[in-house]
Structure 1
Amino acid sequence: MKFFNIDSNSIAVITPNGAYTYHELPKMTFESTQKELIFIVCRNTIEILAAYVSALNSGHAVMLMSADTNDELLKKIINTYQPKWIVGLKAVNGYVPDSDKLVRQQQLKVDIHPDLALLLSTSGTTGSQKFVRLSYKNIRSNAESIIEYLNIHQNERAIMNLPLSYSYGMSIVNSHLLAGASILLTEQSVIEKSFWDFVKKHKATSLAGVPFTYQMLSRIGFFKMDLPNLKTLTQAGGHLHEKFVRMFAEYAEKNGKRFYVMYGQTEASPRISYIPPERVLEKTNSIGIAIPGGELSLESETGELIYKGPNVMMGYAESLADLAKGDELHGILHTGDIATVDEEGYYTIIGRKKRFIKLFGLRINLDEVERKLQSVIQTNIACTGTDDKLIIALEDSNFVEKIKSEIEQLYHLHKTAYKVVVLEQIPRFPNGKTDYRTLKEKCL
């Protein structure tokens, strides 16, 4: 059974260079007598999107990586997982060209679990070779939940500028193509005029963004733009400061649009919860309620947020042998986030289990420090550190003294227990999330 229906004559994808019906999407063939691994290096182009559709419809397992991934890591991953086909690279040792892709020269018997559909990186474009293993059931059930609570129908046109290799971007593609809707595909940024020309020309109905996207929108005059067709704004990919949540919720309410604040993890295919748009202004700091078909709870001793649902991953892969593994989590995900829940069942993240340091016996929640500082100082801030020192990074030297004053007032820390570092730019992944590993390396 094909994952996507590609027989329709309705518009599937619009690019700056033209439109394609579902039936007209370029086809790519992956023929083999056994289940194989397809490796796709992703850009937001029609060729790559069509390859993704063909790959998922092939029944093989598909691994997605960003085109921004450094060459050394790409080589390591290819050597570790030995994919049969590679899409999006021109030349790789041990592979030969085969029409629109590369094919492995060596014959190899690979054991891949029949349910395995997708492998998504856990660490962006740098870092480990660890992947989330998602089944066809995982990604289909999550896409169907998203279709339900966002009310995605055939006339929807989603602007897709997030990377396909990022679970949020992948979920936009899956939900809209499964609903028979259209995708406006672009690699342009929201800060470019051509992006908004594209949005207006093709009447985009929805826009998705990570926190950094919404910070940029607030600076570029978005609230003054004439966008009558744009009806839905969605935000995920990390905590959006309450100030921005309120700003966009009020804009949406005033202009007859819907603003969804959402929470998820790649391990959940990726959506876990959302705030219904009519409740966002009341629940500005919350992650909302579970998506349709899911269930949220708190572990009694630790306060860790637990999610149950059919979209929970099968497990992780760190080697080729791991592709043969079945479902190891059985629908239960320990998110690693510490949360609270109110009397209406709305959950709020208050920190990460692993984003803590201990200074002089005082347990410091780095996420909480970021939130508190950003509520007082309206600038980009990122916190890292060790059990010896708290490090606060920012991009504007004008706020250094103010930050020092706030830190000493909030936490009563001695000057030797923290340092403030001014960077030209806080390191981020292509999806807009802060790259804390690189941040730590830069600041220590």
Structure 2
Amino acid sequence: MSFFYLEGNELAIITDKQTFAYNEIPKVEFKSEKKELVLILCQNSIDIISAYISAINSKQAVMLLASDINKELLENIVETYQPKWIVGLDDFENYEASQNHLVRIKEKTIHIHPDLAILLSTSGTTGSQKFVRLSYENIRTNAESIIEYLQINESQRAIMNLPLSYSYGMSIVNSHILAGASILLTDKSVMEKSFWEEVREHKATSLAGVPFTYQMLQRIGFMKMDLPYLKTLTQAGGRLNEKLVKAFGEYAQQNNKRFFVMYGQTEASPRMSYIPYEYVLTKSDSIGIAIPGGNLTIDSETSELIYTGANVMMGYAECLEDLSLGDELSGILHTGDTATVDNEGYFTITGRMKRFIKLFGLRINLDDVEKKLEAVIQAPIACTGNDDKLVVVLEKEEQIDNVKENLEGLYNLHRSAYKVVILEIPRLANGKTDYMKLKEICL
């Protein structure tokens, strides 16, 4: 039985050129006597989406990578994981063209676990060869949870403006196709006028964004736009400034729309919690409650947030042999985030267990510094550092004095213990702060 049901003439995919009903989605042949790996370089196009759906339906393992991935990293990944097929490239060494994808010339004996559905990178376009291993059950149960709490049905039409290679983007495709809803594919940015023309023309009903997306939406005057069909806004991919959460929550409330703040990790396929839209104003500093079918707890000794659910990954893959491994985590994920929980069961992230530095014996949570300073200056901010110095990165010079004053007031830091740097905050393809690059630049 296929994972995605592709029967019926209901509208499934909309592109800027044409539309496709479910029974019109092109099928891509991935024929093999045994399970193989399909590497897909992702763009929001019908060719890529149909290749993804076909590969999942034919029970091949699918590796999703950003189309702008570093060339050397791509070569290393292909050498390491030996995919049978590559989709999204015209040529590659040791591969030959066949219809609309490349096929490995030499046969290789590769063992892939029958449950393995998807491999997702944990670190964007310039990261490592380490991948999250997701099973069919992982992605199906998480999609079903999302369908339930977002109330996705056949009448929904999501604008797909996030990369498929990013777990948030993948979950939009999975949940909407499984629900029999429609997806509007676009590579355009919310900053482009043509993006909003497509939203209006095709009557998109939902929009997904990371924190950076919502910063941009506020900047372009989104809240003054006339968008009667757009009824659902979702946010994930990192912490959104609490003031913006409240601003978009109030906007949604006043305009008969729903605004969902969500929390997740690629390791959880990817969603773990959400704030029900009715509570987004009263619980704006939290990550909400566990998704349907999931459970959140806090380790009493370390304050680490622990998630349990059928959507927890099988484990990581760092080499070809790892593709044969089964489930190593038994549905339990140690998130690496520290958290608190209130009397009503709403969880609040307090920081990353590894995002700490120690200055003159004082243990400082870098995420906490970001959160507190952001609340004061109401502008993008990023923190890095080591046990010698805290580094605060701003994008505008006029905020320096305010930041210094608050750093010294909040943390009682001497000026020799920190420095403030002005530069454009480096971001990954998914809009999150690129802390690895930030550290390279500033330290």
- Once residues 442 and 92 of structure 2 are traced to their aligned partners in structure 1, the CA distance between those partners, rounded to angstroms, is 35
Pairing of 1:165-180 with structure 2 (within 5 A): 165-180=165-180
Aligned counterpart, 1:89: 89
Aligned residue number for residue 366 of structure 2: 366
For residues 297-308 of structure 1, the aligned pairs below 5 Å read: 297-308=297-308
C-alpha distance in 2, partners of 1:373/1:282?
21
Distance apart, 1:327 and its partner CA? 0.2
Q: Shift of the alpha carbon at 1:405?
A: 1.4
Query: Which residue of structure 1 lines up, in the alignment, with residue 105 of structure 2?
Result: 105
Give 1:199-210 correspondences, 5 Å limit.
199-210=199-210
Q: What is the one-letter code of the residue matched to 2:322?
A: D
The alpha-carbon deviation at position 397 of structure 1 amounts to: 1.1
2 CA distance for matches of 1:202 and 1:168? 22
Alignment of 1:253-332 (within 5 A): 253-332=253-332
Alignment-mate amino acid for residue 182 of structure 1: S
Aligned length: 443
- Runs of 4+ in structure 1 displaced over 6 angstroms? none
Q: Which amino acid aligns with 1:256?
A: N
Structure 1 residue 91, shift from structure 2 partner? 1.3
Q: Quick one: which amino acid aligns to residue 257 of structure 2?
A: K
Q: 1:29 — aligned with what?
A: 29
CA drift at 1:394: 1.1
Instruction: Please state how far the C-alpha of 1:193 moved relative to its aligned partner.
Output: 0.5
Q: Deviations over 1:56-109 (max 9, x none)?
A: 111010000001211111111111100000000111111111111001011101
Residue in structure 2 matched with residue 433 of structure 1 by the alignment: 432
2:384 — aligned with what?
A: 384
Find out whether 1:442 has 2:435 as its counterpart. Answer: no
Secondary structure at the counterpart of residue 343 of structure 2? coil
Deviations 1:191-235 (A, max 9, x none): 110000000000000000000001110110111111110110000
- Give the Cα separation in 2 of the matches to 1:155 and 1:271: 23
Moved more, 86-95 or 309-318: 86-95
Q: Aligned ranges for residues 120-199 of structure 1 at < 5 Å? A: 120-199=120-199
Instruction: Point out where structure 1 has 5 or more consecutive residues left out of the alignment.
Output: none
1:266 and 1:343 map into 2 onto residues whose CA distance is 28
Within 2, Cα distance between the matches of 1:257 and 1:393? 35
Question: How big is the shift at 1:282?
Answer: 0.5
Structure 2: where are the runs of 5+ without partners?
Answer: none
- Is 1:114 matched with 2:120? no
Report what 1:13 is aligned to: 13
Q: Which amino acid aligns with 1:33?
A: E
- 1:406: how far off? 1.2
In the TM superposition, what is the alpha-carbon distance from 1:443 to its structure 2 partner?
1.0
The Cα of 1:21 is off from its aligned counterpart by 0.8
Letter in 2 for 1:415: R
Deviation at 1:323, TM superposition (A): 0.2
| Letter matched to residue 416 of structure 1 | S
State how 1:218-233 maps to structure 2 within 5 Å: 218-233=218-233
Query: Match of 1:307, SS?
Result: strand
Equivalent residue of 2:23, what SS? coil
Distance between the aligned counterparts of 2:317 and 2:304, measured in 1? Answer: 24
Structure 2 residue matching 1:23: 3-state secondary structure: helix
TM-score, normalising length from structure 2?
0.99
Question: What letter is aligned with 1:5?
Answer: Y
The one-letter amino acid paired with 1:16 is D
CA distance in 1, matches of 2:173, 2:437: 29
1:377-405 Cα shifts (integer Å, max 9, x gaps): 12110000111110011111111122111
Counterpart amino acid of 1:105? Answer: I
1:331 maps to amino acid:
G
Distance 1:177 1:104 in 2: 30
Q: What residue in structure 1 maps to residue 45 of structure 2?
A: 45
Normalized against structure 1, the TM-score is what?
0.99
Residues in 2 aligned to 1:127 and 1:360: alpha-carbon distance in whole angstroms: 32
Given residue 400 of structure 1, which amino acid in structure 2 is its aligned partner?
Answer: I
Aligned partners of 1:422, 1:355: CA distance in 2, in Å? 21
Structure-1 separation of matches of 2:384 and 2:69: 23
One-letter code aligned to 2:338: I
CA distance in 2 between partners of 1:101 and 1:310 (Å): 33
Alignment partners' CA distance in 2, 1:13 and 1:332: 35
RMSD: 0.6
Q: What are the residue-to-residue correspondences of 1:410-421 with 2, within 5 Å?
A: 410-421=410-421
Q: Match of 1:21, as an amino acid?
A: A
Mapped to 1, the partners of 2:435 and 2:16 lie a distance apart of: 35
- Once residues 412 and 90 of structure 1 are traced to their aligned partners in structure 2, the CA distance between those partners, rounded to angstroms, is 57
> Does the residue aligned with 2:244 lie in a helix, a strand or coil?
helix
Paired residue type of 1:164: L
